[in-house]
C-alpha cells in the first residue's frame, strides 16, 4: 500500500475480537519500529512484547483507570526509552510507536497508542514504575507508551483529506 493511503486509513482501534496476533505479524510490526530514525542514529530504547492474557491484564494497571482494551488485545508492545543513551529518547520512541502503529494497520490489524510517560498507574505511582514492575524491566528505562495490537472488531472510518485542519498552517506569503 502506498504510504499516503496507509496514513489515510490509520485510526486508533480500541475494539478487538480477542483472537491472538501471530509472532510473524508482531515481528513485522517490530521491524517497522526498529528501523525508525533516531537522533544521531542512537537507539535509546527497549521493546517488550506481551501476548500472555494474564500479563496483559496486569499491564493494564499501568494507567488509571485501567484501559479496557487490554482485555481483548492480542498483544502489547511496551516501548521504553533510555535517557542516559540519548536526549532525544522521547522523540525516538514516539517515532518508533508511530511506525509500528502504521505497520499494524498495513497488516490489517488494529492498534492504539496508550500513553505511559507522565501518566499515573491505577494504584498510584507512575505508569512507568508499574510497567517496569509488571514486565521486570531494569530501572533507568522510562516507559514512553504501549502499543496495543489486536484483530479488529470495529475500525473507525478512514481519514480523508477533508479532515486536515488548515487553521494550524501558515504560509510565508
Ligand X SMILES: Cc1cc2nc3c(=O)[nH]c(=O)nc-3n(C[C@H](O)[C@H](O)[C@H](O)COP(=O)(O)O)c2cc1C
Q: Which residues bind ligand X (CB under 6 A)?
A: 11-12, 14, 112-115, 156
CB-nearer residue toward ligand X: 26 or 147 = 147
Residue with Cβ nearer ligand X (141 or 143): 143
Distances, alpha carbon 133 to alpha carbons 14, 18, 52, 82, in Å: 25, 25, 16, 16
Shortest CB 73 distance to ligand X, Å: 11
The nearest distance, CB 67 to ligand X, in angstroms, is 6
Query: Minimal distance in Å, beta carbon 139 to ligand X?
Result: 23
Give the residue with the Cβ less far from ligand X, 118 or 123: 118
Query: Which one, 41 or 164, has the nearer CB to ligand X?
Result: 164
Q: Which residues, 6+ apart, have CB-to-CB distance to 52 below 8 Å?
A: none
- Whether the bond into 65 is cis, omega within 30 of 0: yes
Beta carbons within 8 Å of 173's beta carbon, 6+ residues apart: none
Do 112 and 152 contact (CB within 8 A), yes or no? no
Least CB distance to ligand X at residue 31 (A): 21
Amino acid at each position: 500500500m502506498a504510504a499516503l493511503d496507509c496514513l489515510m486509513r490509520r485510526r486508533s482501534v480500541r475494539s478487538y475480537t480477542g483472537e491472538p496476533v501471530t509472532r510473524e505479524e508482531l515481528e513485522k510490526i517490530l521491524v517497522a519500529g526498529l528501523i525508525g530514525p533516531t537522533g544521531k542514529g542512537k537507539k535509546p530504547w527497549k521493546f517488550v512484547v506481551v501476548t500472555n492474557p494474564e500479563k496483559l491484564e496486569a499491564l493494564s494497571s499501568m494507567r488509571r483507570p485501567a484501559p479496557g482494551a487490554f482485555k481483548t488485545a492480542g498483544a502489547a508492545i511496551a516501548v521504553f526509552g533510555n535517557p542516559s543513551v540519548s536526549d532525544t529518547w522521547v522523540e525516538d520512541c514516539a517515532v518508533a510507536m508511530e511506525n509500528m502503529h502504521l505497520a499494524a494497520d498495513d497488516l490489517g490489524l488494529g492498534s492504539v497508542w496508550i500513553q505511559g510517560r507522565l501518566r499515573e498507574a491505577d494504584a498510584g505511582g507512575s505508569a512507568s514504575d508499574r510497567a517496569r514492575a509488571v514486565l521486570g524491566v531494569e530501572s533507568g528505562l522510562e516507559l514512553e507508551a504501549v502499543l496495543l495490537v489486536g484483530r479488529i472488531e470495529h475500525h473507525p472510518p478512514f481519514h480523508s483529506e477533508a479532515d486536515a485542519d488548515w487553521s494550524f498552517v501558515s504560509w510565508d506569503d
